[in-house]
Amino acid sequence: MLTLIKDTLTSQVVTLWRVFSHLWVKADTVEYPDEMPYMFPRWRGRIILSRDPDGEERCVACNLCAVACPVDCIALQKTEDDEGRWYPEFFRINFSRCIMCGFCEEACPTNAIQLTPDFEMAEYERQDMVWEKEDLLIDGTGKYHDYNFYRVAGKKIGGKDKGEARNEAVPVNVRSLLP
């Protein structure tokens, strides 16, 4: 009985006091439309497609973002330029379905798809929340400045022949039997 009373005093009453004492603490609320909150760079907001340091589209249409997407709101189609570079023919995100989970960014092997701190995406028409590649593609590298997938990959593209990628030897002469 005594312990119970003691517990009540030390636990419940102290709790009550602690909570009550918050009356003198300044509120954390940021009054958003009047005042813009600070958005952290890694905030998971509106999705963009970035370009590599050479200014080319980073997306290689590998479909990994689409398959990682838990709400299946990304659809794209691979196509290829004359010199073998893969890129998306179309790239569509249905933002009315997007849950900003960032799995697409996580899955992206080329750092092409990135989430940005912009969260002000409300629309009056739901149809306006379907974004195509023209809407998504930005002119910069986004959060990751140096990565260029095709400089690492072995595939030949315009401006990069076989053996010119990072850490690659010049192509083998198959007619030679020298070691």
Contact 129, 73 (CB under 8 A): no
Beta bridge partners of 88: 78
Closer residue to another protein in complex, CB, 139/170 = 170
CB of 132 to another protein, least distance (A): 7
By CB under 8 A, tell whether 122 contacts another protein.
Answer: no
By CB under 8 A, tell whether 154 contacts another protein.
Answer: yes
What does the alpha-carbon distance between residue 140 and residue 56 come to, in Å, rounded to a whole number? 10
Among the listed residues 53, 119, 135, 168, the single contact to another protein using CB under 8 A: 168
- Single-letter amino acid code for the residue at 42: R
Place of tokens 């009047």: 34
Interface segment toward another protein; rule CB under 8 A; list 35-43, 48-56, 137-145, 169-177: 169-177
Contact 89, 124 (CB under 8 A): no
By CB under 8 A, tell whether 48 contacts another protein.
Answer: no
Interface segment toward another protein; rule CB under 8 A; list 38-46, 113-121, 126-134, 138-146: 126-134
Give the tokens for residue 93. Answer: 């995100």
Give the tokens for residue 70. Answer: 């838990």
What does the alpha-carbon distance between residue 75 and residue 67 come to, in Å, rounded to a whole number? 9
By CB under 8 A, tell whether 36 contacts another protein.
Answer: no
Task: Indicate the helix (H) or strand (E) that contains 19.
Answer: helix 14-21
The residues, ordered by sequence, that sit 6+ positions from 178 with a Cβ below 8 Å of its Cβ are none
Among the listed residues 7, 80, 81, 83, the single contact to another protein using CB under 8 A: 80
Interface residues toward another protein, by CB under 8 A: 4, 12, 15-16, 18-20, 22-23, 25-29, 31, 60-64, 66-67, 69, 71-80, 86, 92-94, 96-97, 109-110, 126-127, 129-130, 132, 149, 152-156, 162-163, 165, 167-172, 174-177, 179
